[in-house]
């Protein structure tokens, strides 16, 4: 089981992400998301969970629904406590727990896919940062800010 801390006003709650067949069925029923599709590259579910914080929040709430109800936390309150680095930690907890759900051979494949996804995300951030630091971008912005000659 993996955990993450939220940003609740009470100093942060700890949420335990535990995936079983019953959890997968609950996520399917509440979110119309089949977590088993992470092994299907055509579904792009792995990327969606990593890049869509709304989908991530909905899936996590469905997974943690029993804990949330015990703590009297609504889905809206749950979502309000997910922002910034918490999203990253929650994504990691979910994807690691999801990998742990599968038998060894599939687990290994999913962990490789997760590692590759992280590499791609890091490279994309490096490229974006380099582009923002480029002198060409600065020149283009300055050109756009110059008053038009009439």
Is 150 part of any domain? no
| pLDDT mean across residues, the chain | 88
- Residues 49-101 have pLDDT tens digits of 988 999 999 999 999 999 999 999 999 999 999 998 999 999 999 999 999 99
Domain residue limits at 94: 2-145
Burial of 28 (0-12, 13-18, 19+ CB in 10 A): middle
* pLDDT at residue 149, as a whole number: 65
Is 50 part of any domain? yes
Is 116 part of any domain? yes
- Least confident among 29-43, 50-64, 81-95, 116-130: 116-130
Q: What's the domain count of the chain? A: 1
Q: Three-state DSSP class for 51? A: helix
* pLDDT at residue 42, as a whole number: 86
Q: Which residues pair with 16 in a beta bridge?
A: 3
- Residues 55-65 have pLDDT tens digits of 999 999 999 99
């Amino acid at each position: 089981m993996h955990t993450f801390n939220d940003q609740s006003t009470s100093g942060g709650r700890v949420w335990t992400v535990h995936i079983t067949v019953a959890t997968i069925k609950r996520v399917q029923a509440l979110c119309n998301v089949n977590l088993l599709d992470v092994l299907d590259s055509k579904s792009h579910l792995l990327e969606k969970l990593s890049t869509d914080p709304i989908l991530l929040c909905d899936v996590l709430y469905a997974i943690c629904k029993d804990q949330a109800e015990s703590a009297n936390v609504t889905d809206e309150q749950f979502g309000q406590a997910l922002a910034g680095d918490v999203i990253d930690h929650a994504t990691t907890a979910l994807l690691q727990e999801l990998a742990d759900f599968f038998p060894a051979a599939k687990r290994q494949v999913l962990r490789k896919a997760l590692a590759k996804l992280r590499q791609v995300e890091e490279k994309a951030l490096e490229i974006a940062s380099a582009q923002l630091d480029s002198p060409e971008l600065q020149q283009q912005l300055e050109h756009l800010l110059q008053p038009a000659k009439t």
